[in-house]
Structure 1
């Protein structure tokens, strides 16, 4: 399994008061959780998911860049400008999830980060707690780190807080005796398949899964036909490219022209010049993307 850099900003900086997002479009008939009043006001409406559901969240520049490269840790911060609205949506999506799925590269690239709702939007912490209680979720979503090699920074505070590390038999041997006691290992015999990881999560009752794992992890999920929805924040900046690795949403998987994967826009919101888009992928769940 390839490992990639982060796609959203790190850090738990306190944010100011959140103005409501402006609702531009919403497809009728979407599932609704019944958000607590303050969250519903800030989001500009309700939100919900029909399990099982795997949904991704990215912030992108106007020219399609979601990460600036390994030499820029936490590069999503530069792309998003740490906009309070983006951090609120990120926190809300985490609050809705049973588990948050990332790659080891994301873990390495965001030292000090915690993949919890309150870490990115602390002012909404009580409302996130209320939402999770109403959904009968655990206090925080479970962090799931995917690594084929077992190369993870075991001292990372997110691992110290507790996580499930999904890896190969070789990766498990590398990690033996090194992970904090708060962590558990999910081991695959050889190749690490995302369908096996999700099956293990479903067995634990984690049927609503958010991924913030980066372009390569998205490529693996799409390749196995496992991604249901995509949340995409469009930030009003240009990142540019000059012979550097600055990926878009999907890496490690070619789709056009031979394997088109369409999506339907089901929600659009805005704050100032930021757009918050929600898409439903058209690839039926469990149907792998056809080979060339």
Structure 2
């Protein structure tokens, strides 16, 4: 009997709650509620019953920019040689994917860089794409919040070099770029896309970019951009909150460049950007943290 149990344990995946590659859960599967370890004073939306049963309370300020990352136990968020690094690090954990869908469902728009687009072929940055089993609940939430059916995809690129064939671009996106980048894109974008020009050339001024997005009615913004975009947002004091999923896997570092949540911005020791814990949840061996970033 002991031998049989040991063999069964060895066969079990290190990420037992992962979602199959097609993104759909078996009909018998039902995600268990998150364990709420700590909940601070945060705004609360009137979530649909199914969503609240799983996650608990969630809400945002009327104007906010929040990020979402999954990292390994040792702080790795990217795998240079591996596309869709987040799925690898999380093991396609269903609780992590549910939260990704929920955070997208709350947002007017999802902001990311061209590098993230290239690293995630075939993806759509919509709630139902990442967690299709809760599509109805996500749709109900967006209707309650007065959101459009899908969050608008916002792509940041200084050069204008993006994958035109990517299904997320074909489905419709707003390209945030420089005048030089807009020239590069001229005549190449699908009709479903539009362009916001910020500056003549060089890196996109994210302060001006966010101001322009908000002038167009995009107030609640989620960024799923990579470490460099996140670093730029933090460096300029633009990121308000950070959701961080800690996966119980050790990624390691050696020859390959493996970044954490922030790159391109060195803060300590000269600048101390402390954050405040807003909530902490547990699902299996995964931790789900929400921090508010304090302005320094």
Mark the runs of 5 or more structure 2 residues left unpaired by the alignment: 1-18
* Equivalent pairs, count: 273
Q: Is residue 2:254 matched to residue 1:242?
A: yes
- Measured against aligned partners, the alpha-carbon deviations of 1:38-91 in whole angstroms (never above 9, x if no partner) come to 000110x1100012100000000000000111x211111110000000000000
- Measured against aligned partners, the alpha-carbon deviations of 1:143-163 in whole angstroms (never above 9, x if no partner) come to 000000111001110011100
Give the counterpart of 2:113 among 79, 96, 103. Answer: 103
How big is the shift at 1:243? 2.2
Asked if the contact 1:12–1:120 (Cα under 8 Å) also holds between the matched residues in 2, the reply is no
How big is the shift at 1:256? 0.8
In 1, Cα distance between the equivalents of 2:265 and 2:234?
8
For residue 125 of structure 1, give the secondary structure of its aligned residue in structure 2.
helix
Give the counterpart of 1:94 among 93, 101, 104. Answer: 104
Mark the runs of 5 or more structure 1 residues left unpaired by the alignment: 1-8, 285-292
Asked if the contact 1:12–1:121 (Cα under 8 Å) also holds between the matched residues in 2, the reply is no
Asked if the contact 1:12–1:119 (Cα under 8 Å) also holds between the matched residues in 2, the reply is no
How big is the shift at 1:204? 1.5
Q: Is residue 2:90 matched to residue 1:68?
A: no
Equivalent position of 2:282 in the other structure: 270
Q: Is residue 2:157 matched to residue 1:147?
A: yes
Q: Greater CA deviation, 54-63 or 168-177?
A: 168-177
The Cα RMSD (Å) is 1.4
Asked if the contact 1:24–1:269 (Cα under 8 Å) also holds between the matched residues in 2, the reply is yes
Asked if the contact 1:261–1:282 (Cα under 8 Å) also holds between the matched residues in 2, the reply is yes
In 1, Cα distance between the equivalents of 2:198 and 2:290?
32
Equivalent position of 1:58 in the other structure: 69
Q: Is residue 2:172 matched to residue 1:162?
A: yes
Asked if the contact 1:12–1:122 (Cα under 8 Å) also holds between the matched residues in 2, the reply is no
- Measured against aligned partners, the alpha-carbon deviations of 1:197-248 in whole angstroms (never above 9, x if no partner) come to 1111111111100000010001110111100000000000000000221000
In 1, Cα distance between the equivalents of 2:42 and 2:240?
14
1:118-267 alignment to 2 at 5 Å?
118-190=128-200, 191=202, 192-267=204-279
In 2, Cα distance between the equivalents of 1:30 and 1:186?
32
Q: TM-score, normalised by structure 1?
A: 0.91
How big is the shift at 1:12? 5.7
How big is the shift at 1:180? 0.7
In 2, Cα distance between the equivalents of 1:251 and 1:283?
19
Q: Is residue 2:34 matched to residue 1:30?
A: no
